[in-house]
């Protein structure tokens, strides 16, 4: 790995939680220099501007979440139903960790990006699309093995699960009560058992 790549990775790694906690718009250059111990010139020698750092950090945080999701989906479960329940297992197991890191990076970035930060919005859209595809892949796998209802829309359920999880996280983080996320996760488990499983 080139020194420039090492420096970029160092900057991203040192500021990942800061951007997620303070916001992609709210994190300042001084926050970045303080966290990394690098000068402004060194930061801008590796990134064109703060927005480029923010996008790199979001992609880093989204990649971490995606890898975690794959771990839970790829555990040696006995059935596709168990794999799909891995989605709720992930958030039950890692809610506190995500909360300490500032919450879900996807919803944080989506709120920050809105229509004022096109590059971040584009990366956020891609991350949500990737997440949708991964959940839909598990549902499709269950359909092929005749474990799930054959005529359900995998993408619709994937998006519904994302909406429930993100809404649960938003309420839990805002109100400081994990109960709201637990309600969302319980609802997903019920939907899997009552609407998806054949």
Q: What is the pLDDT of residues 98-157, one digit of tens each?
A: 877 888 888 888 888 777 788 899 999 999 999 999 999 999 999 999 999 999 999 999
- Give Rg (Cα) of the chain: 19
| Residue 15 tokens, joined | 């500021």
Considering the entire predicted model, what is its pTM?
0.89
Spatial separation of the C-alpha atoms in residues 64 and 144, rounded to whole Å:
29
Question: What is the pLDDT, as a whole number, of residue 194?
Answer: 97
What is the domain-level CATH number for residue 183? 1.10.357.10
118 within domain boundaries: yes
Domain coverage including residue 148: 56-196
% pLDDT > 90, the chain: 64
Q: How far apart are CA 172 and CA 95, in angstroms?
A: 10
**Residue of 75, 76, 79 whose CA lies nearest to 142:** 79
As beta bridge partners, residue 148 has 197
Q: Which H/E stretch holds residue 191? A: helix 179-191
17 belongs to a structural domain = no
In a domain, 4, yes or no: no
pLDDT at 84 over 90: yes
Number of domains composing the chain: 1
Phi and psi at 176, nearest 5°, equal 70, 30
Torsion of CA 131, 137, 138, 143, to 10 degrees: 150
Contact by Cβ (8 Å): 198, 148: yes
**Secondary structure class of 166 (helix, strand, coil):** helix
Determine how many CB atoms are found less than 10 A away from the CB of residue 53: 23
Q: Is 145 among the domain residues?
A: yes
pLDDT of residue 126: 94
Mean pLDDT of the chain: 91
The pLDDT assigned to 191 comes to: 98
User: Residue 76: which pLDDT band, with cuts at 50, 70 and 90?
Assistant: low
Average pLDDT for 167-184:
89
């Amino acid at each position: 790995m080139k020194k420039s790549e090492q420096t970029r990775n160092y900057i991203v790694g040192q500021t990942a939680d800061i951007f997620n906690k303070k916001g992609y718009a709210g994190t300042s250059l001084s926050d970045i220099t303080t966290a990394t111990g690098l000068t402004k010139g060194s930061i801008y020698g590796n990134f064109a501007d703060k927005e480029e750092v923010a996008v790199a950090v979001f992609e880093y945080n989204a990649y971490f979440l995606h890898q975690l999701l794959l771990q839970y989906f790829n555990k040696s479960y006995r059935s596709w139903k168990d794999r799909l329940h891995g989605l709720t297992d992930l958030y039950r197991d890692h809610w506190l960790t995500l909360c300490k890191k500032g919450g879900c990076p996807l919803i944080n970035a989506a709120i920050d990006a809105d229509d004022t930060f096109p590059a971040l919005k584009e990366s956020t859209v891609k991350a949500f699309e990737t997440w949708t595809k991964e959940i839909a892949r598990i549902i499709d796998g269950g359909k092929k093995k005749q474990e799930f209802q054959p005529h359900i829309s995998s993408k619709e359920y994937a998006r519904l699960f994302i909406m429930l999880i993100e809404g649960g996280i938003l309420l839990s983080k805002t109100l400081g009560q994990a109960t709201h996320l637990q309600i969302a996760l319980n609802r997903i488990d019920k939907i899997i058992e009552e609407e998806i499983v054949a």
